């Protein structure tokens, strides 16, 4: 075996070292982009769209994102376990109503307004209900992204069979409660139902119940956020209506029906449900029309549950990763029109609302049109717990097991008894 | 085999054998359990670094927690109501399969297959089957002229719908156990009985059941312990509804720990109350059925 | 067999086959749905034949854009974790059950009582203290962080089951070996274990299924998407807010059930023989 001559190998070595050093300095510029961890609950079809957008973000900025997508309920449990153990992500997308209790538990980091506006996020760019939703006790904890909301789906085929379409084939669209009831009664025949609120288990659909409460000027808590407002007449009136649609008017399906499947199978005519359903309806090739949520009570309020970007607490904040997280929020906000077009969630930012691709889409334009009526949950840490104990009680009302006034009384009492 | 130093080490041998398993058990079961017990006497919450000792407060609060009481009643109801179907259906199938039918592997596999599915798959499938609007059961029953009702939305029938689903899911597991027990009964006994003129029923009660007793007891004990902890399929099928009609103890515990307020201390207290109840039930079972079987 | 005997047998077989087919109908729906086009899935009256059929849902589950779902990798993780935990629990249970069945020592009843008693506590309550422990060991997002706790979860059941079986082995065999000069370890490995293959196989199947389908523990104990086992990865197919896409979900369910079914069919005989001897002799 021959040995390389020392001088040759030294030159080679020096040359190699020089080249390596040059490569290192060049490489360190792109090497310095960190990888950030990002948790969200966008499972299903929306997740694939988000994946595409994140890929684009990585291509354009060099920042890689390690995503964990977990069904929302499990995501929140995991956050609660992981963040105190310093195993949380750099960035998390959560719902507005979760901000108060996570903030009060010290799971989220506060974002001073100065920092937010320094990064280019100003209140006036956003719709007020979304911008306010990211705060708790006058501190900001979140930057809004988009606005899942309720909308009225009208099944064209079902309405046609009930004789509720015009000569042009377009279905009649109800805008008040009386119209809804009248049309629903005409539709409800045999195994077809006229009207339902909720995706599955309409009896337990608290979000729908809240939507109706807000339309009647009632709410879970009184304005002081201390005592429950559910024993008030306005709330009881809503509960009476909740009870009536299955038992009295007989237009709504049983409490555990899958309304979405019923709508797809052509067994449900009018359906108030989340905007997140419409991509699935398109995939299932259902002939439907989207319309604004009708005014069932005093105001045509529309329930919303915006998504918000948040920074879970870490023992030590890595500045580079924090900057990268901000960069992603910036990028997503700049590209939120893409998100809207593909996933069907309209943005919290005002600017994309004038994008002609969005205003031209029949469903998206309806969602945008509701912006003036948006409302979301109250900023109390007990909101989610209150939602959870509401479910079985309104279900008992829906199936006629319990009278409305007594149920609301019971619920108000349970909500008042929620400890801190 | 050469004699080793076994006799000198005799005293330690049991502990040496136990060591690996006990280390595993002590570290990953006993320690978390004891910590859970300790936490049940504190106001521990997920997310809160510190907790303070609150004595028996969590346990006392359970006395006022009507939803906990309801869930205890529901769970006891489920355990008792499900015992006969869950133990009897696989037994009948096993006896039939043991009679020497053909295609035994196919049949065994067919009845076992549901057991390979995850709880979510089972739940989604049966939700669809029983759906009051688009479910096949609704459709075929209506076609047969039977008045349609929503099994899962009726407090009177919801638990039974869950039991039916569970029977479908776990029968294969118990079937395999019963078959094993049945196959060990000597054929000569049946032949002798047949010669004596005993019919099918008679030989079942005089031969099969007594000799199957130990298997039956094993199955009963595991079923009861498991039923008290029922959670998965109930959660998917009814989420504890309608109202709280099918809410079980573990669901109440799970929601207390991982939703709402993440009250881990309270949840631990519930778990230990449940433990005491199961323990009492199990000891009763052993005492009542001791007789011939050494357990 | 007499002619009446044969016709009895045929009738019974026919009845059982009919019952089995009805029994399988819900599972058939799972399979059939996974092969239907999305627009044909939710239909009244229910359609049992997927025509036109499609494998797009399987394609979506296995290959689609979703990098976070990485089903192939999740499948591999599940195999490693399930096999690992089976090996660990079978070994640990057998070694623990033997002295509990065969030897006298102080604390024997206490240990057995503790082990069986631990079956009576719901897992949900162990989760958080276990999480803190595993984190302190530095085992989050690792294979051992999944294998060891999964084994611990099945350990008590394994000890219970195996102890019953060991009690049934005629002690003459062991006595003879002892007279010949064998030490306990040799008796255990050369006599007891070989005789126990059937029940060890049974335990292996149950432990495998338990580790394979566990969702809650891996959910919180794994933070690297690369290390997720199958149930967590498949959960990504669930729609947000209960708007399910049945096609991919059912395709995922079929893919996930296949290994379990294969394991069952292969070890079918073992289980039947194994559990029988144990449970029967009490």
pLDDT tens figures, A161-179: 999 998 888 999 999 999 9
What is the token pair recorded at A341?
């077009």
A8 vs B: CB within 8 A: no
B55: left (phi over 0), alpha (psi -120 to 50) or beta: left
Nearest-CB residue to A52 (from C43, C65, C242): C65
CA distances from C223 to B38, C34, C108 (A): 28, 30, 40
Query: A264 vs chain C: nearest CA distance in angstroms?
Result: 7
**Are residues A95 and A309 in contact, defined by beta-carbon separation less than 8 angstroms?**
no
Q: Identify the pLDDT of residue C162.
A: 85
Chain B residues with CB under 8 Å of C282 CB are 214, 217, 292-295
Indicate yes or no: CB of C235 within 8 angstroms of CB of A74.
Answer: yes
Strand A193-197 vs strand A139-140: parallel, antiparallel, or unpaired? unpaired
Confidence (pLDDT) at A87: 92
**C42, C68, C135 ranked by CB distance to A85: nearest:** C135
Flag whether pLDDT at C161 surpasses 90. Answer: no
Higher-confidence position of B128 and A29: B128
Q: CA C261 to CA C257: how far, in whole Å?
A: 6
Q: Is the pLDDT of residue C275 over 50?
A: no
Give SS3 for B59.
helix
- What pLDDT score was predicted for residue C4? 63
pLDDT of residue B6: 46
- A191 contacts B133? CB cut-off 8 A: yes
Most C CBs within 10 Å, among B18, B35, B42, to test the C interface: B18
Shortest distance, CA A178 to any CA of chain C (angstroms): 29
Q: What is the pLDDT of residue A181?
A: 95
Characterise A357 by phi-psi region: left (phi > 0), alpha (psi -120 to 50), beta (else): alpha
User: What Cα–Cα distance (Å) separates residue B205 from each residue in A11, B192, B195?
Assistant: 95, 15, 17
The residue-averaged pLDDT of B54-63 equals 91
- Smallest Cβ distance to B125: which of C29, C155, C260? C29
Is the pLDDT at C276 greater than 60? The verdict is no
- A286 in contact with chain B, both atoms CB, cutoff 8 A: no
Tell me which residue in B1, B102, B214 faces C282 most closely, judged by beta carbons.
B214
The confidence score (pLDDT) of residue B202 equals 80
Spatial separation of the C-alpha atoms in residues A271 and A265, rounded to whole Å: 13
Per residue, what are the HEC states of A355-386?
CHHHHCCHHHHHHHHHHHHEECCCCCCCHHHH
Q: Which of A48, A80, A204 to probe the C interface (max C CBs under 10 A)?
A: A48
Percent of chain A with pLDDT over 90: 73
- What rounded mean pLDDT belongs to chain C? 85
Record: contact C235-A45, CB cut-off 8 A: no
**Alpha-carbon gap, residue B233 to A255, rounded angstroms:** 18
Interchain contact, C132 vs A85, CB within 8 Å? yes
Cβ distance A51 to C65 less than 8 Å, yes or no, reads yes
Q: Identify the pLDDT of residue A20.
A: 47
Q: Compute the average pLDDT of residues C95-106.
A: 90
With tokens 């604390």, the residue in question is: C107
Q: Which of A175, A177, A119 is nearest to A332 (CA)?
A: A119
Handedness of CA A384, A385, A388, A389 (dihedral sign): negative
Is-contact B86 B166, C-beta < 8 A? yes
C-alpha distance from residue C169 to each of C46, C175, C188, C242, C278 (Å): 53, 11, 12, 52, 9
Query: In this predicted structure, which of A218-227, A301-310, A401-410, B207-216 has the lowest mean pLDDT?
Result: B207-216
- Whether A257 contacts chain B with CB within 8 A: yes
A395, B134: Cβ pair inside 8 Å?
no
CB contacts, 8 Å: A67 with chain C: 67-68, 225
Q: Which of C42, C140, C239 sits opposite A265 (nearest CB)?
A: C42
Q: How confident is the model at residue B214 (pLDDT cuts 50, 70, 90)?
A: low
Q: Do C240 and A44 touch (CB under 8 A)?
A: yes
Q: Is the pLDDT of residue B215 over 80?
A: no
Identify the residue among B143, B242, B263 best suited for mutation to test binding to A, counting A beta carbons within 10 A and taking the highest.
Answer: B242
Lowest mean pLDDT among A12-16, C177-181, C206-210: A12-16
C245: which 2 tokens? 């896409």
Structure tokens given for A403: 């009278």
Q: Give me the mean pLDDT over the B51-59 stretch.
A: 89
pLDDT digits (tens, 9 = 90+) for C191-240: 888 877 767 877 887 898 899 999 989 999 998 888 999 998 888 888 77
Write the DSSP string, A284-301: TT--EEEEPPPB-SSS--
Which of B21, B98, B131, B212 is best to mutate for the C interface (most C CBs within 10 A)? B21
- CA-based nearest residue to B265, from B85, B18, B1, B56: B56
Asked whether the predicted pLDDT for residue A232 surpasses 60, the reply is yes
What gap in Å lies between CA B229 and CA B251, rounded to an integer? Answer: 9
- Asked whether C75 and A298 are in contact (CB, 8 A), the reply is no
- Measure in Å the smallest separation between the Cα of C133 and chain A Cα atoms: 11
Residue that has been written with the tokens 């001897």 in this structure: C277
pLDDT band at C59 (very low <50, low <70, confident <90, very high): confident
Question: CB neighbours (10 Å) of residue C113?
Answer: 11
More confident residue, A158 or C202: A158
Q: Which residue has the higher pLDDT, C268 or C17?
A: C17
Q: What are phi and psi of B96, to 5 degrees?
A: -65, -45
Cβ C280–B111 below 8 Å, yes or no?
no
Lowest mean pLDDT among A86-95, A230-239, B18-27, C54-63: C54-63
Contact between A302 and A293 under an 8 Å Cβ cutoff? The reply is yes
Contacts of B265 in chain A (CB under 8 A): none
Which of C36, C40, C42 is the best residue to mutate to test the A interface, defined by the most A CB atoms within 10 Å of its own CB? C42
Of residues B49, B131, B155, nearest to A401 (C-beta): B155
d(CA A34, CA A62): 9
Residue A14 has pLDDT above 80, yes or no: no
Round to whole Å and give the CA distance between C75 and C234.
Answer: 10
pLDDT surpassing 60 at residue C270: no
Q: Of A75-84, B46-55, B90-99, where does mean pLDDT reach its minimum?
A: B46-55
> Phi and psi at residue C15, in whole multiples of 5°?
-60, -45
Interatomic CA distance for residues A140 and A149, integer angstroms: 22
Q: For position A250, what pLDDT does the model report? A: 87
- pLDDT level of residue A2 (50, 70, 90 thresholds): very low
Instruction: Return the half-sphere exposure (C-beta side, CA atoms, 13 A cut-off) of residue C124.
Output: 30
- How far is residue A178's CA from residue A100's CA, in Å, rounded to a whole number? 37
Give me the sign of the Cα torsion angle A190, A195, A198, A199: positive
Q: Among residues of chain C, what percentage have pLDDT more than 90?
A: 36
CA torsion A237-A239-A243-A248 (nearest 10°) is: 10
pLDDT at A288 over 90: yes
- CA A370 – CA A304 distance, rounded (Å): 10
Sign of CA dihedral B152, B157, B159, B164: negative
User: Cβ B24–C115 below 8 Å, yes or no?
Assistant: no
Q: How confident is the model over C29-38, as a mean pLDDT? A: 93
Q: Chains near C, with 3+ CB pairs < 8 A?
A: A, B
């Amino acid at each position: 075996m021959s040995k390389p001559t020392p001088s040759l190998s030294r030159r080679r070595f020096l040359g190699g070292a020089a080249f390596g050093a040059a490569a290192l300095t060049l490489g360190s510029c792109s090497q310095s982009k960190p990888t950030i961890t990002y948790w969200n609950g966008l499972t299903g079809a929306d997740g694939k769209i988000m994946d595409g957008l994140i890929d684009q973000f990585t291509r354009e900025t060099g920042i890689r994102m390690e995503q964990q997508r977990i069904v929302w309920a499990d995501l929140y449990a995991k956050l609660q376990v992981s963040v105190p153990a310093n195993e949380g992500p750099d960035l998390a997308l959560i719902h507005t109503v979760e901000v108060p209790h996570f903030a009060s538990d010290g799971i989220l980091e506060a974002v001073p307004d100065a920092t937010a506006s320094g990064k280019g996020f100003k209140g006036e760019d956003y719709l007020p209900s979304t911008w306010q939703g990211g705060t708790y006790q006058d501190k900001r904890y979140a930057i809004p992204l988009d606005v899942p909301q309720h909308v009225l789906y009208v099944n064209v085929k079902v309405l046609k069979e009930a004789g509720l379409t015009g000569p042009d084939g377009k279905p009649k669209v109800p805008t008040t409660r009386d119209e809804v009831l009248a049309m629903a009664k005409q539709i409800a025949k045999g195994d077809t139902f006229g009207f339902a609120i909720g995706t599955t288990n309409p009896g337990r659909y608290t979000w729908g119940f809240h939507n109706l409460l807000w339309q009647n000027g009632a709410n879970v808590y009184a304005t002081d956020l201390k005592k429950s407002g559910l024993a008030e007449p306005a709330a009881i009136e809503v509960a009476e209506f909740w009870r009536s649609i299955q038992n009295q008017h007989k237009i709504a399906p049983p409490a555990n029906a899958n309304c979405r499947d019923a709508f797809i199978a052509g067994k449900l005519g009018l359906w108030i449900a989340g905007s997140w359903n419409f991509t699935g309806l398109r995939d299932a090739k259902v002939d439907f029309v989207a319309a604004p949520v009708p005014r069932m009570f005093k105001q045509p309020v529309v329930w919303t549950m915006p998504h918000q970007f948040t920074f879970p607490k870490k023992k030590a904040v890595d500045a580079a990763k924090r900057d990268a997280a901000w960069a992603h929020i910036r990028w997503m906000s700049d590209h939120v029109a893409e998100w809207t077009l593909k996933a069907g969630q309209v943005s919290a930012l005002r600017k994309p609302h004038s994008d002609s691709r969005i205003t031209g889409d029949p469903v998206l334009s309806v969602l945008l049109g509701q912006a003036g009526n948006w409302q979301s949950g109250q900023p109390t840490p007990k909101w989610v717990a209150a939602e959870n104990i509401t479910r079985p009680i309104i279900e008992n009302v829906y199936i006629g097991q319990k009278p409305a006034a007594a149920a609301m009384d019971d619920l108000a009492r349970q909500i008042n008894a929620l400890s801190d | 085999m050469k004699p080793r130093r076994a006799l000198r080490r005799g005293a330690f041998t049991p502990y040496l054998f136990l060591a690996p398993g006990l280390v595993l058990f002590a570290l990953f079961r006993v320690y978390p359990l004891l910590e859970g017990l300790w936490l049940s006497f504190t106001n521990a919450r997920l997310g809160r670094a510190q907790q303070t000792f609150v004595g028996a407060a969590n346990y006392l609060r359970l006395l006022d927690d009507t939803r906990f009481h309801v869930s205890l009643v529901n769970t006891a109801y489920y355990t008792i109501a499900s015992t006969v179907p869950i133990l009897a259906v696989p037994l009948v199938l096993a006896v039939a399969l043991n009679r020497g039918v053909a295609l035994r592997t196919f049949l065994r596999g067919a009845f076992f297959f549901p057991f390979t599915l995850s709880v979510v798959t089972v739940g989604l499938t049966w939700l669809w089957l029983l759906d009051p609007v688009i479910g096949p059961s609704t459709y075929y029953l209506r076609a047969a002229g039977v008045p349609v009702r929503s099994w899962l939305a009726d407090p009177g029938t919801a638990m039974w719908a869950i039991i039916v689903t569970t029977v479908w899911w776990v029968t294969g597991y118990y079937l395999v156990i019963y078959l094993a027990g049945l196959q060990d009964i000597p054929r000569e006994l049946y032949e002798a009985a047949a010669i004596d003129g005993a019919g099918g029923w008679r030989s079942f009660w005089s031969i099969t059941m007594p000799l199957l007793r130990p298997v039956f007891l094993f199955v009963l004990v595991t079923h009861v312990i498991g039923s008290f902890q029922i959670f998965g399929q109930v959660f998917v099928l009814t989420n504890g509804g309608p109202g709280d009609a099918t809410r079980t103890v573990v669901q109440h515990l799970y929601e207390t720990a991982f939703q709402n307020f993440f009250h881990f201390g309270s949840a631990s207290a519930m778990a230990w109350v449940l433990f005491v109840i199961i323990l009492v039930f199990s000891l009763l079972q052993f005492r009542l059925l001791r007789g011939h079987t050494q357990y | 067999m007499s002619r009446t005997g044969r016709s009895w047998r045929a009738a019974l077989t026919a009845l059982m086959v009919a019952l089995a087919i009805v029994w399988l109908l819900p599972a058939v729906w799972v399979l059939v749905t996974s092969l239907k086009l999305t627009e044909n899935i939710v239909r009244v009256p229910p359609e049992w034949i997927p025509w036109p059929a499609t494998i797009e849902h399987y394609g979506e589950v296995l290959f689609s854009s979703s990098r976070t779902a990485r089903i192939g990798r999740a499948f591999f993780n599940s195999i490693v974790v399930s096999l690992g935990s089976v090996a660990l629990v079978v070994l640990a249970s057998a070694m623990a059950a033997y002295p509990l069945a065969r030897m006298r020592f102080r604390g024997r009843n206490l240990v057995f009582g503790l082990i069986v008693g631990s079956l009576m506590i719901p897992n949900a309550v162990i989760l958080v203290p276990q999480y803190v422990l595993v984190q302190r060991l530095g085992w989050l997002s690792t294979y051992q962080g999944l294998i060891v706790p999964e084994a611990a979860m099945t350990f008590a059941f394994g000890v219970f089951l195996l102890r019953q079986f060991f009690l049934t082995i005629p002690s003459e065999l062991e006595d003879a070996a002892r007279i010949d000069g064998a030490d306990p370890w040799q008796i255990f490995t050369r006599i007891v274990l070989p005789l126990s293959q059937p029940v060890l196989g049974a335990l292996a199947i149950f432990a495998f299924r338990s580790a394979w389908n566990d969702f809650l523990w891996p959910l919180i104990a794994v933070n690297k998407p690369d290390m997720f086992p199958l149930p967590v990865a498949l959960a990504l197919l669930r729609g947000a807010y209960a708007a399910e896409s049945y096609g991919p979900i059912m395709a995922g369910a079929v893919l996930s059930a296949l290994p379990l079914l294969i394991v069952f069919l292969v070890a079918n005989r073992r289980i039947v023989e194994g559990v029988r001897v144990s449970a029967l002799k009490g």
